[in-house]
Structure 1
């Protein structure tokens, strides 16, 4: 605690108090479980847009992506970011069908597609695993940043940030989350653009950034990272991150929370434009960070520490505060969303399946209890995280895509498929994808392709063997 920076610490404390205040206000606007879960399904286009943007950008995007550029250059744009942007564009073309279903969660859609209500707790369990991993990523990123810039020990800061996240999410649900997202989304995009302008002028020009980046290592400006990524590896990464856009619980909840189909389409279109500009700026900022640290002789222990070091050891405090606001906005806005999704997944998709006659008040209570439970356990795990931010990010992308992309969206448009085959495809895809991700693939084939391939094979064989089983995909859910 001897190296505490009171200026940065004070900024951070004020920021936390503001979002806590919004959480308390959100509590006064939350009168029932639908308010808590889905904003009463009355979210307008601009609030929905900025909530989507803020939720989309996370610790991975700011600290992790800039760290990835520091470690391997611009190739991040070729695979991960391209896959994400492609996914948003594709989601636009199916969002009308999703919103017209008027279903609240992703497991609701799976139950509708398969015709079996038991698909809800199966899918919900997978989604809880994804959300928990995402919470750890966010808490690690936030705590690493704040520890670096304030001097407060990491193990203390993890718990401070975790508790604040839990409190304001539990209080107001999606009402609190959406309004804090509006504030944080605007701050995040504006601050990153301002930080980029400062770094470009500081180094000289955009061309100077690229020339100096190439002088350190020519592979940094090579879209395939000089062979670090094979073509099949790049394609697998694109597919993995493309699939996450269609399979995230929080995106489906936000679509359900919009007023109507027109609002759902508008918020996705506007979000896609904003995020494309934001990520282009972020990658260039990563290149400028790499140049600045190398020119100054500054080295980091891990690539995740590159951006925090830029704040503490390179830019002046006035610019550092702007960057801090951007990063904290990105982290809080995504973490509260994942916390919120753990509550709705537990109550809506698992608890209500086993207790179908439970009251709205009981489901609201379970949502809040689950939010606290997953928040506390993720905070405890973040004290000694199981991997880097980008490693955890890649892992959960494989999990979601392999489990859900093929069976859910094939079943959504190809009615008549066996519901049991679709459920089996989900389970096998998840197991194969996760299992081979642990081992780094199989026979040189990326885990994404193994999981998706297994899901397709099981789906086709299961459909042939179980084609007479009822219900079929597209049929009303009925166990």
Structure 2
């Protein structure tokens, strides 16, 4: 195997990631991996049907639901991609982390009761199931399934990209082996436990992240000499870093980017299938009441890691107190390993391992369900035996894991940028068809199809295609594609796709309304 790898280009290198040689940190990491595997085995023992595997049989309560919802959104993107974006672009990235909590409030208001009621009215296990029930269209079901798969590959790549750095930091293995070994462990864990394992691992790591975020924030601010000293060092190097809109693309462009990210990450939360399908799992609708503030506050607290570690490390590098021997993607692991006590570092890195595993499990489950359940049904070829459907779902996990691992292996995109691409895929595809569709009786299947196609095409054309062209060595093609993009390259494609898809959804729905009635059992759902 090593001889084969030596023949391949290895874009993943060790870089400046320090390696933990502290037995406390290694013990924390090993213990968490063991716990994750044991939870997976426990989940296997409780998984007897596709319903158990995908939505835990509607069995979770308020705190578990809220903390699970927050943790699947934060995950490796928040702990590795977050400090990376703050380090690179200053306050621009904070328009993600300090506005995303609004997304939880919005999502709960417009979707929580409706999604949970949908699970009672119809036998829905996936988002495409719900969209078929709403629009009674196989085309909508199939396009929703395709959008899920595409978004899952992009977002799963984000978490695997973070995982390779964490495995390197804890266990000292080369980054390439951290990626491949971590992906294998993730695959086994996901095939064993399904969503039952994911939910309880989410809950465990959510509590750990909240506690760890407070500790990291205190150490990071102290390390930087206080906010006043951090601000002064950053302002001396580049005043845009601490300007209200940050430094991504320069002063003028940063305003557009910050506002675009605000739209994408506050409104776009309601289009994240790994979040909104969690509402299927609640024991009943009464427990949904306090979920939004719990999830929003938890996310805000955990975001202190990105804010404090990113700004503090950049300030100390600019002041000459720290040598920049690391890449931006490595800022989080570097700070935690080198500038916090062993117990804190072990706690944070172990929680990050759990976060990546459980969040990736959620992505794999919804993606595999699209392969085994949603797309076959859209073509009129459903798998009728439940046990067979469960096994096909588990088998589909392997293909998605391999594809996402390949994206990470051959891409040099920042973890944070990969995260925004994945989020943008989901937001553009699902905010119009889900949020409007479950709140507006006038929504039509033609509007849903137009929105899904537009969201997919814009994101694939301007996010996936240029990246694939560059990997294949066709830089000219990538540049040619982006030359037709009407905004600065740093302006998030997901926001453009979201706005275009929303306008098309509303416009086409208005034009194609024919006075037909909703299915009778969905009237109560849209009137709540």
Q: In structure 2, the residue corresponding to 1:377 is in which secondary structure?
A: helix
- Select between 332-341 and 286-295 the one with higher mean Cα deviation: 286-295
- Select between 124-133 and 316-325 the one with higher mean Cα deviation: 316-325
* Aligned CA distance change for structure 1 residues 88 and 467 (closer, same or farther; 3 Å): same
- Select between 300-309 and 38-47 the one with higher mean Cα deviation: 300-309
* Aligned CA distance change for structure 1 residues 258 and 75 (closer, same or farther; 3 Å): same
Deviation at 1:98, TM superposition (A): 2.3
1:114-125 alignment, distance < 5 Å: 114-125=135-146
CA contact (8 A) 2:88 2:328 kept: yes
Q: In structure 2, the residue corresponding to 1:41 is in which secondary structure?
A: coil
Cα-Cα RMSD? 2.8
Deviation at 1:65, TM superposition (A): 0.9
Task: Please report the TM-score for the alignment, with normalisation by the length of structure 2.
Answer: 0.82
Give the aligned partner of residue 31 of structure 1. Answer: 48
Aligned counterparts of 1:186 and 1:456: Cα–Cα separation in 2: 36
* Aligned CA distance change for structure 1 residues 333 and 211 (closer, same or farther; 3 Å): farther
Pick the aligned partner of 2:174 from 153, 156, 168: 153
2:281 matches 1:260: no
2:30 matches 1:5: no
Deviation at 1:368, TM superposition (A): 0.7
Give the aligned partner of residue 442 of structure 1. Answer: 485
2:414 matches 1:382: no
Task: Please report the TM-score for the alignment, with normalisation by the length of structure 1.
Answer: 0.90
2:203 matches 1:182: yes
Gaps of 5+ in 1: none
* Aligned CA distance change for structure 1 residues 244 and 115 (closer, same or farther; 3 Å): same
2:191 matches 1:163: no
Deviation at 1:430, TM superposition (A): 2.2
Deviation at 1:235, TM superposition (A): 2.3
* Aligned CA distance change for structure 1 residues 232 and 290 (closer, same or farther; 3 Å): closer
Equivalent pairs counted in the alignment come to 475
Give the aligned partner of residue 526 of structure 2. Answer: none
- Select between 26-35 and 131-140 the one with higher mean Cα deviation: 26-35
Deviation at 1:357, TM superposition (A): 5.7
Pick the aligned partner of 1:416 from 407, 419, 442: 442
Pick the aligned partner of 1:241 from 261, 265, 268: 265
- Select between 126-135 and 369-378 the one with higher mean Cα deviation: 369-378
CA contact (8 A) 1:416 1:473 kept: no
Gaps of 5+ in 2: 1-13, 467-481, 523-528
Give the aligned partner of residue 84 of structure 2. Answer: 67
CA contact (8 A) 2:455 2:498 kept: yes
Deviation at 1:127, TM superposition (A): 0.8
Aligned counterparts of 1:200 and 1:459: Cα–Cα separation in 2: 46
2:488 matches 1:467: no
CA contact (8 A) 1:162 1:375 kept: yes
* Aligned CA distance change for structure 1 residues 231 and 114 (closer, same or farther; 3 Å): farther
Aligned counterparts of 2:257 and 2:519: Cα–Cα separation in 1: 34
1:70-109 alignment, distance < 5 Å: 70-77=87-94, 79-94=95-110, 95-102=112-119, 103-109=124-130
* Aligned CA distance change for structure 1 residues 127 and 210 (closer, same or farther; 3 Å): same
Q: In structure 1, the residue corresponding to 2:303 is in which secondary structure?
A: helix
